Each structure stands twice: as structure tokens, then as C-alpha cells.
Structure 1
Amino acid sequence: MYNTAARLERLPVGRFQYKLLMMGGLGYMFEAWDAGIIAFLLPALRAQWQLTSLQVGYLASSTYVGFLIGALIAGAIGDRYGRKNVMLWALVLFCLASLGGAAVNDWHQFFALRVVGGIGMGAEAAIIAPFLSEFVGAKYRGRFTASLAAFFSFGFVISAVLGYLLVPASDDGWRYALIVTAMPVVVVLWWRRGLTESPRWLESQGRHQEANDIVTGIEKQYEARGVVLPAPEPTAQVSATPNTSLMANFKTLLSPRFLRITIMTWLLWVSVTFSIYAFMTWIPSLLVERGMTMTKSFSFSILIYAAQIPGYFTAAWFCEKIGRPYTIVLYMALAAVSALSLAFATGDTQVIALAMTLSFFINGVAAGEYAYTPEVFPTRIRATGVGTASAIGRIGGIAAPILVGAVYPIGGFAGVFGMTTVILFIGATSVLFLGIPTKNRSLEEIEAEEFAAR
């Protein structure tokens, strides 16, 4: 009897994986949609509620406070109790919080609801990537998981279009934008019917029969379409560790065997999250500060956000060709060059072109990050590892908008994007010196070869 991993590794990419990609990708799209819309609400809220620059920074950071909580808790719960239900209820939570935010008239209440919504979004981010990575073989996993992260770009573009069309249209335009943002909750009904639990996770918990039943069902889907599956090849075996406590999983991340990888992923996520949200959250407001009208700023922001799409998909291609760590370092280096150039940009045309270039590369880094992080942790602590890295990364997301709000009045564009360059350099260095290769290696091979007890 071949183990679950060997049977999953032999599966060609087909309808089953694409369905999972769409389910997980839509989750990321909704998350980015909700996270991105705040950038277009802030100029309207600032004028309507007479907010200071610091208060705007607090509102911009509110989602990421919740993100930290949600990612930290959901990752551990996903490893202890399974991935499926966390994905379902997280989406419901942040959609309902978005609806509530549309009804408030005070920035303190708005802040609180954005925190609650962020808890849901953080839970989504912690679960989706490790969940999908456990269904896909080593040959396709990097490209597949990076493509999953590419759905973020669609969400940000949608938020930019909604911000452009709805927010300036009336005093309540920002409320209508939030209501539209909450509508994706209907996909929960589809997920509840279509998702299966991860068989790799079930096997790691000693629930071998349940894992076997799920994999058998997947194999039958291929056979029903006339696909002849190759014989499974032997792969590394990992021992089951059922009923591990939440605290034990957190302690494992800091044990000598995993500390190097834990530190690397934390530094990577802090640098990427800081850079993306400092840039994406503030760019419409920064363009307004440079003298553009709100409408003109929003229209240019659509172009800047759209540059993410090829950034994600080119990075997904490079993830499979040269490996995840090298893709991350390459795109981080080019993002740093773009940020440094933007710091000294002058005319509007130059600013927009360089902002699009930075958007392209920094979001390409995110594609590599989401592909790489689930691979470097064993199945039994994968969601905890990803969730904790994501949670630590949200410290960057919390700090970034506040720091931009504080730095811009003093240092202007040069101060904001000079700071971004330094942060990107720290992240690239951590991956270069602390990362491990994962290309064409099954998840079990990585665990057995990199983290064998010594």
C-alpha cells in the first residue's frame, strides 16, 4: 500500500486541482479586494470626518491588527482541527464586518470593524496556501501556489475600479463600495459543498482511512475521464503526530530544528507585507498630496494596481524554472531598485511609470512568498508555520501605514520609498542566507532531508 503522498505526487494537474485553485484563489481575491478598498476610502473619510494624518494611518493599519490575530490563531487551529472549516468561517467574518463598516459614522467604530474583518482575512491567508499545496505534486506545486497568490492582483484591481467608480460619486460612495465588497460571502455555499479536507493533514494525524478515502475519490475522478494514472513512486515517509496541542505546535517552530526556517519566514513576511501595504494603501493618497485630483489619482492607481497581474504570473513561471528562493531574491532586488528610483522621481509620468514597476516586482515577490512558505514546514505544523509567519508579517502591515503617515510630512516621497528600499534589502538577505531549496522536491522529501532529527 502506497502512502497518501506517493499517490498525490503522481496525479497530473487536472480538473480537481483547478477547481481547488479557483476556490482558494477567489478567497485571496476577496481578501485583497477588501484590503485594497481601504486605500480608496481613506481620502473620502479623511475629508468627511476631518481626520488627521495620524488617524488616517491608524485606519489604514486597522485591518492588519486583525490580520495578525486571525493568522496566528487560524494557523494553529488549522493544524489541530483541519483546514476546511477555518476557510469557510473566515470568509463569512470579514464580509459581515465589511457590511457593518458601511453603516458607521465614527472613525473609532470603523477602526473596530476593520480589525474584526482583518481577523477573518488573516485566517484566510494562513490556511489557503498550505491547504492547496498539500494536494499538488512537486513538479507543479511552485507554479500552482504562486498562481494562487496571483488572485490577489485581481482583488486589488477590482478595489481600484470600485474606488474610482463609486467613492467620488457621492458623499456615501465609500459606503456603497463597502457593501459591494461584502457580497462575495455567497461563495461560502459553494465551498461548503465542494471542499474536502487535506488527505496529507489527515494522514499526519493518523487518520489513514479518511485520507485513503479522499485520495481514492480523487483518483476515481481521473479514471472517470479516461485518464490512466502512472504507478505511484516510493516517496519519503513521515511519522504521524496526532492530537498535538496548539502550544506544542508553536513551541516546535522555535525548536532548534526549525528556528532557522522560522526566522527566515518571519523576516521575509515582515519585509514583503510592510513594503506592499505601505505602497498599496497610501499610493492614492500620496498622489493626491502631490497635487492630483482625487479622480485623477484613482484612475492612475488602477494602472498601478493592474501592473500586479503580470508581476504575479511571471513570478509564478520563474518559481518553477529557477526555484522559489531565487525568484524571491531576484524580484526583491528589482523592487528595491524601483523603490529607490521612485524616491527621486519628479514628474507625474515618471512617478506613475516607476510606481507601476514597483507594483510589478513587489507583488511578484508575494507570489514567491506564498509558494515558498508552505513548502518549508512539515505537514503537522504547516498551517501554524504559515499562519505565524503571516501574523508576524502583519506587524509590518500595521506599522507601514502609520510610519508612512509620519514619515511623509518630514521626508516626502524620498523618505517613504527610501525606507521601503531598506526593508526590501533585509528580506532578500534573509532568504539568500537562511532559505532552503524546494524545487522538484515533494513535501515529504523536504521534511525528511532538511529536518531529520540530528
Structure 2
Amino acid sequence: MTISERLEQLPFSRFHYKLLLVGGAGYCFDGLDGAILAFVMPAIQHLWGLSLSQLGLLGSSAFLGYFIGALCAGLIADRWGRRSVMMWALACYCLGSLASAFCTNWHSFILTRMIAGLGTGAESAIIAPYLSEFVPRRYRGAFTGALAGFFSFGFVAAALLGYALIPGSADGWRWALALTACPVILLLWWRRSLPESPRWLQIVGRGQEAHAVLSGIERELGRPSVAYEAEGAPSSPCTRMSKQFTQLLSARLRKVTVMSWLLWMSITFSYYAFFSWLPTLLIARGFTIAHSFGFSIAIYVAQIPGYFSAVYFNEAWGRKATIVGYLAAAMVSALGLGMASSSTAVLVFGLLLSFFMNGTYAGVYAYTPEIFPTSLRATGMGTASALGRVGAIAAPLLIGAAYPKVGFAGVFGLTAVILFGGALSILLFGPSTKNRSLEAITGDYGV
């Protein structure tokens, strides 16, 4: 029996719940890092006298780090393994986040946020493809969607930290950033809890190690031992890295690769156009800082049911249908927010936009690793996530420059148009992955 067949026959168990909690904790702190800057920005704008354009540059700095981190993480993880990338990424994030709390000018703040972003980008790009390789197809969509759902807890934690610490103290923003470095303690847990992916070990010719890892999981579940069975020829470790990008754009994979890039750029631009500027846009519209932070907390809390509702639909509808449906609903919500004329309407449409955009992410994080073969899974996810960060880099800059000219309605009208583009790309070019093994999906491309 092959490694992939043995993995597909595993029941969903305590082992998978442990992976969900371990990986979810990583995504929770990634969400915390991505969201805390939105609450820090009004304070440091006042402290350092920044213009909206400078504030936009500052907001984009972390996303430039995300881009580099996500791009490199995929390449390294497919070449040298998933587990070590996760741990080094977390250490880099914690170091950069702690250093940013002690900055005395906005130039050094940009540098430290880029360092933190390197770690966050690498970690968020690798967790889903890594852990999804342990999960049988009948649970994989719900598992990966739930994994991504932990982002929402990080955003809510950032909103609570921002609300509790920043308005009442000149140095509150420093305390908030320092607290985001706490997940360094996860390194000890990850070192003890996380095995390397058996699918990756097998594909690079380390079949005995893959067998040993999987045998340990089977023993933990009380399943009978299976004799090791050698499988096929491994990928060549001396040439794989040089060919990873060209393989993604080969005739067999080009369509799904470009589709994944467009999808990620669309949702990531819209997401960060909304969330990174939310408190600042509300203040510019006349809300007090405390009032805007209160609205932001409510809107961030709407992420939680958004993510976990999509977990159900990932299996009931399939990942492709879930993404298209949630993107369409997010587009309508963005249009409603742009046309809102009262504080109640702003809150209602903000809640809906938060709900549906984050539900989309639960589908996207489940879907993207599935459409790439094991030898390129981390590279495919990493490049899609990295190019998605191009949208995140552009969003703070573009919104900062556009808001004085087009106003609240123009910002969210643009968001709706970009969401429509993402929905169209997957509707036309995305393969269906519902209830199919990873090997069967990529077998359609002849890989």
C-alpha cells in the first residue's frame, strides 16, 4: 500500500485535531500581525506627523516582506522540507515584531515591519500546503478551511488590543506591538509536535522516513503496522529548485497557476484595502477614534462566522463553488458599504463584507494547495500567496492616494470591481476538487 493510500485511509483523529490547533495558532498570530498595524497607524500618524501617502507606504512595508517571505518559503519548502520553514518563519516574525515596538522614527519602523512580514509571509504560505498533506480527501476542505479560520481570532485579538491599549496611552501602540511577539513560545511546541510531511518525504526519495513518520501516526491511532513498500522514482533534488517556476508555467499547469495568481491578488487587495484602512477611513468620515475602534471590533468579530460557515460549504458545495458564491456576496456588500449614508448602514455592510471576504479565504486556503502536485505544492501556494501580496502592497498606497479624490464610495466601488475579477477567474478557469484525492486532482494535468 502506498504512502498516499495509507494517508487517505486514516480516520480523522486526535492527531489531526492537534495539527489543526498547532497550525491554527500560527495563523492566529499571522492575523494578529496583519491587523494590529491598522490600529497602530492612527497613533503613529499623529506621533510622527505622517501624510496619508507616507502612511500608505508604511502600511505597504509589511506586505513587501510578506511577498518576499511567501515566495522564498515555497521554493525552500519544496526543496528542503516544510517543517523547518515554519519554525524559522515564526522566529523571524517575532524578532521583527518586537523590534518594531522600540522604533523612534517611521523609517526604522518600515524596516522592522518588513522583517516581521518576511516571517509572516513565509509562515502563512506554508502552513496550509504542509498540513493538508496529512488529511484524507473526505475531510480536507473542512480541515483547511477551519485552519484558515484561526486568522479571524488574530484579527479580533488585534482589535481588542488596539481598543484597550492604544487610545489611552502615548506608548500604547508600543505595548500592543511588543505583545504580538509572544508567539515565540510556539517554537518549542512545534519542535516537539510537528512531523515532516510523508507525502513530501516520499516524493523526494526519502521513502523510509515517510514510512517511519506514517507508522508512528498509525500506531498513535491503534492501526496495524504496514510493511514499507518502495514507490516510483523520486524527484531529482539537484535540479528541482531551478525548475520550480518554469514547471508552474508549463503547458500542463499554466492555466491553474495564472488563475490562482489572479484569485489571490483580487481577494488580498480587497481584504487589505478594507481592513488595513478601516479605522483610519472611519475617523476620516467623522467617527471618534474610540468609536471607530469599537466599530472595527464588531466588524472583525464577523470574520469568525464568515470563516467557519465556509468550512461547512467547502465540503457541501465544494471549494470552487464556495469561493465564487462568497466573492459574489462580498462584491454586493462592498457596493452597499460604498453607498451607505448612516452609521448603522456602515456597520451592517461592514459586517457583511467582513463575513463574506473571510469566508472566501477559508475556501482559497483549502483550494490552492489542492490544485498543485506534491513536488510543487508549496511553490504553487507560495507564489500565489506572494503575488497576492502585490495586491496587499498596492492597496494601502492606492487607497491612501485615491481616498482624497474619490471618497468612501469610490474606494469600495473599486473593491467591488476587483472582487468581481477574482470570481470570474476561478469560475472560468478553476478545476473542481470536491471529494478528490490530491493525486487524482493533479493527475488531470498529466502530472
TM-score (norm: length of structure 1): 0.96
The 2-side partners of 1:401 and 1:361 are apart by 21
Deviations 1:109-168 (A, max 9, x none): 001111111110110011100011100000000000000000000000000000000011
Residue 384 of structure 1 pairs with residue 379 of structure 2: yes
Match of 1:78 in 2: 77
Partner of 1:169, secondary structure, is coil
Alignment of 1:113-132 (within 5 A): 113-132=112-131
Match of 1:258 in 2: 253
The 1-side partners of 2:268 and 2:383 are apart by 13
Partner of 1:111, secondary structure, is helix
Partner of 1:168, secondary structure, is coil
Deviations 1:383-438 (A, max 9, x none): 00000000000000000011111111111111100000010001000000100011
For structure 2, list consecutive stretches of 5 or more residues without a partner in the other structure: none
The 1-side partners of 2:97 and 2:125 are apart by 20
The 2-side partners of 1:352 and 1:416 are apart by 16
The 2-side partners of 1:122 and 1:115 are apart by 10
How far has the Cα of 1:231 moved from its partner?
10
Partner of 2:436, secondary structure, is coil
The 2-side partners of 1:350 and 1:83 are apart by 45
Residue 157 of structure 1 pairs with residue 151 of structure 2: no
Residue 167 of structure 1 pairs with residue 166 of structure 2: yes
How far has the Cα of 1:245 moved from its partner?
3.0
The 2-side partners of 1:105 and 1:258 are apart by 47
Match of 2:305 in 1: 310
Match of 1:248 in 2: 243
Does structure 2 conserve the Cα–Cα contact (< 8 Å) formed by 1:70 and 1:119? yes
Match of 1:397 in 2: 392
Does structure 1 conserve the Cα–Cα contact (< 8 Å) formed by 2:215 and 2:225? no
Match of 1:292 in 2: 287
For structure 1, list consecutive stretches of 5 or more residues without a partner in the other structure: none
Does structure 2 conserve the Cα–Cα contact (< 8 Å) formed by 1:345 and 1:351? yes
Once structures 1 and 2 are overlaid, which stretch shifts more, 192-201 or 243-252? Answer: 243-252
The 1-side partners of 2:158 and 2:415 are apart by 23
Residue 185 of structure 1 pairs with residue 200 of structure 2: no
How far has the Cα of 1:238 moved from its partner?
7.3
Match of 1:200 in 2: 199
Give the AA of the match of 1:93: C
Alignment of 1:77-116 (within 5 A): 77-116=76-115
Match of 2:351 in 1: 356
The 1-side partners of 2:305 and 2:242 are apart by 40
The 1-side partners of 2:3 and 2:25 are apart by 27
Taking only the aligned residue pairs, the percentage that are identical comes to 55
Partner of 1:249, secondary structure, is helix
Deviations 1:258-307 (A, max 9, x none): 00010000000000100111101001111111111111111110000000
Does structure 1 conserve the Cα–Cα contact (< 8 Å) formed by 2:35 and 2:276? yes
Partner of 2:167, secondary structure, is helix
Partner of 1:399, secondary structure, is helix
Residue 19 of structure 1 pairs with residue 18 of structure 2: yes
- Which of 253, 259, 263 pairs up with 1:268? 263
- Which of 333, 337, 345 pairs up with 2:332? 337
Match of 1:347 in 2: 342
The 2-side partners of 1:230 and 1:18 are apart by 22
Deviations 1:41-95 (A, max 9, x none): 0000111110000011011111100000000001000000000000001011111
Paired residue total: 444
Distance 1:53 1:130, change over 3 A: same
Does structure 2 conserve the Cα–Cα contact (< 8 Å) formed by 1:10 and 1:231? no
Partner of 2:15, secondary structure, is helix
How far has the Cα of 1:239 moved from its partner?
5.4
Does structure 1 conserve the Cα–Cα contact (< 8 Å) formed by 2:126 and 2:382? yes
- Which of 316, 320, 345 pairs up with 1:321? 316
Give the AA of the match of 2:3: T
Deviations 1:220-268 (A, max 9, x none): 0010xxxx67999xxxx87531314322111100111100010000000
Residue 144 of structure 1 pairs with residue 138 of structure 2: no
Runs of 4+ in structure 1 deviating by more than 4 angstroms, as ranges, are: 228-232
Does structure 2 conserve the Cα–Cα contact (< 8 Å) formed by 1:204 and 1:242? no
How far has the Cα of 1:447 moved from its partner?
1.7
Once structures 1 and 2 are overlaid, which stretch shifts more, 243-252 or 211-220? Answer: 243-252
The 2-side partners of 1:78 and 1:296 are apart by 44
Partner of 2:71, secondary structure, is helix
